[in-house]
Amino acid sequence: MISPTELQAIPIFACLEETERQRFAARAADVRLQPGEWLIREGEVASFFVLLEGAVVVVKEILGRTQDVFEYNAGEFFGEVPILLGAPSFAGVRANDDGKARVARFDAQQLLEMVQSSAACSALILQTMTDRLMRVQRFAKEVPTSRVLLIGTRYDNDCREIRQFLSANRIPYEWIDADKDASRMPVCMNGEYDGPAVVVDNHYCVETPTVRSVAEALGIRTQPRFEDYDVVVVGAGPAGRAAGVYGASEGLKVLIVERSAAGGQAGTSSRIENYLGFPNGISGEDLSQRALQQAGRFGAEIAMTRCVEHIERLGDGRYCVELDGGQRVSACVVLIATGVEWRMLDAEGVGRFQGRGVLYGASRNEASNVVGKRVVIVGGGNSAGQAAVFFANYAAKVVVLVRGKGLELTMSSYLIDQIATKKNIYVVPYTEVVKAEGEDHLERVTVRTRPPEGEETMGTYDVDALFIMIGAKASTAWLPESLQRDSGGYLCTGRDLEGWGLQDRAPFPLETNLPGVFCAGDVRHDSIKRVSSGVGEGSMAIAFVHQYLALNNF
Ligand SMILES: Cc1cc2nc3c(=O)[nH]c(=O)nc-3n(C[C@H](O)[C@H](O)[C@H](O)COP(=O)(O)OP(=O)(O)OC[C@H]3O[C@@H](n4cnc5c(N)ncnc54)[C@H](O)[C@@H]3O)c2cc1C
């Protein structure tokens, strides 16, 4: 407990009346930190802190790297800026690695009482706040805007994947379109474009880059640290990351393996508006990044840009999980959370232009490629609706082609309402693409319109980008043949299993017919294809994993 006498030695409290000091001392939390222990993390709800003993370090995420920015010493206070601006904490604070620290913590209301209780105290807090805001201004001028310079062309698929990976991991990058900005080519390329290249942190040049080589140059983990885990989670979409957060926070040794960028389908959503707790919606990238930080904070390990290619039950009941390149780890439990992939559009010429104007899905970083252009979206579901609303802010014209009568049967009403407010979105019913044409990239699509009553007609659209979002399929062919699937390849679990090998117990909910292999999210038979249900299943799976581990004495 903090005494009024201890507070009196601190300048901000020295100017208060004794009775007020007593009042604040009685209500302050007395926080004692071990060396290196966190007091608050960046992005948390802000509190007001007064440092009583020791020193703390202010830590900020800058361009995907965690950096120590400066130190506070005993007697100083902090946290007033975000509270008075109504913002979350701008930076994290932890005790110095060399010593313990002791901090008095006050909530926002108590800070306001301090500001109002004494003119001297208020002047001190507000002057300090002004100085700190000046420091933020200097910081904004000095901080580099990106760590990665990516040089390539709009139609290069490697570049597109790298850009998607960087965006999904919230790593700012500068993009030089070699077709348009040849004069901006970096010195290390001798002014000539000879295929995509990446410059990381101003000095590292990755020639013929891949997503993995860029990830490694940025210091992102791509290799498992250990050989054995309690749980290996395959896929870092909402279901996989939720399992990572719950598993690691409950003491399990968890490895999440993700073949591309964490976030899964949700990571490509321009705006998720129906996820609880985000009244104004949240972009898929933001949600993914937060979940990733959360999983990492609890100690879940994530190996990015790695694909699980094979799993096999070992003699002792554990599983061998084989990653691309033949690397193996073992696990008591495997959780399959591999989601779904876009269904391909079967129309003449579409395959030839994939990545050259034809894209499956619609990630936010395509926005800069469609400014002032003509966009066609195929599909009438929510993902097509989100993409139409998002691209309408950039493109000259967005045409949405739907096979059915309209959007009412397939799209949420909040998206239909948003589409109605955009003057440059045109919804064309009863229509499908039959042909894609162009020279070296997509230039035109031919469409067929078949209304239930009336003549079939053909038409063409000049188009710069065709985004296809016509449903999804489960890609589960790589899993053991003995794993039970439905006719669409989705994995059966729990009560949906036909035949179960063990006599002594029934399968757990979310357990497949291979004991110890669980499944969550979109890839599961009959799952509800939503972010919240993926998150729910991923976290529920961990509860059953605990029961499974206890039962098998792992
Ligand atoms: C554009 C779009 C917008 C959407 N908007 C909304 C919305 O607003 N609200 C809503 O509730 N839902 C929305 N959804 C649906 C929602 O995103 C999905 O239901 C949810 O992401 C499913 O989560 P998941 O974890 O099961 O699978 P996914 O999100 O598909 O994640 C699976 C992950 O597994 C990885 N993976 C696959 N195979 C392997 C392997 N062998 N090895 C390693 N990794 C592998 C994939 O790369 C992927 O990252 C949207 C979907 C899309 C595509």
Instruction: Judge if 316 and 377 occupy the same domain.
Output: no
Prediction pTM value: 0.86
Supply the residue whose CA is at minimum distance from atom 45 of ligand 1.
235
Q: Which of 80, 112, 142 is the last residue of a domain?
A: 142
**Position in ligand 1 atom list of the atom nearest CA 257:** 43
Q: Which amino acid makes up residue 367?
A: A
**Statement: residue 204 has pLDDT above 70:** no
Distances (CA, A) of 297 to 215, 245, 292: 20, 9, 8
- How many domains in the chain? 4
* Residue 345 per-residue DSSP state: P
Best CA proximity match to 491, nearest among 514, 512, 515, 509: 512
Looking at the domain assignment, is residue 18 inside a domain? yes
pLDDT single digits (tens) 529-542 = 999 999 999 999 99
Looking at the domain assignment, is residue 223 inside a domain? no
Instruction: Judge if 89 and 165 occupy the same domain.
Output: no
The pick from 338, 363, 413, 525 for probing ligand 1's pocket by mutation, whose C-beta has the most ligand atoms within 8 angstroms, reads 338
Q: Crossing angle for the helix pair 284-297 and 157-168, nearest 10 degrees?
A: 60
**Statement: residue 215 has pLDDT above 80:** yes
Rg of the Cα atoms in the chain = 27
Both structure tokens of 419 = 């589409």
CA of 284 to the centre of ligand 1 (A): 10
Instruction: Judge if 256 and 374 occupy the same domain.
Output: no
Looking at the domain assignment, is residue 213 inside a domain? yes
CATH at residue 208: 3.40.30.10
Q: Which amino acid makes up residue 83?
A: I
Instruction: Judge if 88 and 202 occupy the same domain.
Output: no
Q: Residues, the chain, total?
A: 554
Instruction: Judge if 8 and 137 occupy the same domain.
Output: yes
Instruction: Judge if 285 and 333 occupy the same domain.
Output: yes
The set of long-range contacts for 132-138, using a CB threshold of 8 Å and a minimum separation of 24, is 132/81, 133/81, 136/81, 136/90
CA of 434 to the centre of ligand 1 (A): 28
CATH at residue 120: 2.60.120.10
CA of 529 to the centre of ligand 1 (A): 9
Supply the residue whose CA is at minimum distance from atom 38 of ligand 1.
338
Lowest mean pLDDT, pick from 221-235, 340-354, 362-376, 520-534: 362-376
CATH at residue 386: 3.50.50.60
CA of 246 to the centre of ligand 1 (A): 18
Residues with CB under 6 A from ligand 1: 234-240, 257-260, 264-266, 268-269, 272, 274, 307-308, 337-340, 361, 382-383, 386, 521-522, 529-532, 534
Both structure tokens of 431 = 């229509």
Q: Which of 470, 500, 518 is the last residue of a domain?
A: 470
* 42 contacts 60 by C-beta, under 8 angstroms: yes
What pLDDT score does 160 carry?
84
The pick from 269, 378, 389 for probing ligand 1's pocket by mutation, whose C-beta has the most ligand atoms within 8 angstroms, reads 269
Domain that holds residue 357: 351-470
Instruction: Judge if 232 and 333 occupy the same domain.
Output: yes
Instruction: Judge if 9 and 138 occupy the same domain.
Output: yes
Position 440 confidence tier, pLDDT thresholds 50, 70, 90? confident
Instruction: Judge if 130 and 157 occupy the same domain.
Output: no
Q: What is the 3-class SS of 62-124, one letter each residue?
A: ECCEEEEEEEEECCCEECHHHHHHCCCCCCEEEECCCCCEEEEEECHHHHHHHHHHCHHHHHH
Beta bridge partner(s), residue 486: none
pLDDT single digits (tens) 52-80 = 999 999 999 887 778 898 899 999 999 99
Supply the residue whose CA is at minimum distance from atom 9 of ligand 1.
272
Instruction: Judge if 175 and 250 occupy the same domain.
Output: no
**Statement: residue 174 has pLDDT above 70:** yes
Supply the residue whose CA is at minimum distance from atom 49 of ligand 1.
264
Instruction: Judge if 20 and 97 occupy the same domain.
Output: yes
Q: Which amino acid makes up residue 228?
A: D
Instruction: Judge if 129 and 39 occupy the same domain.
Output: yes
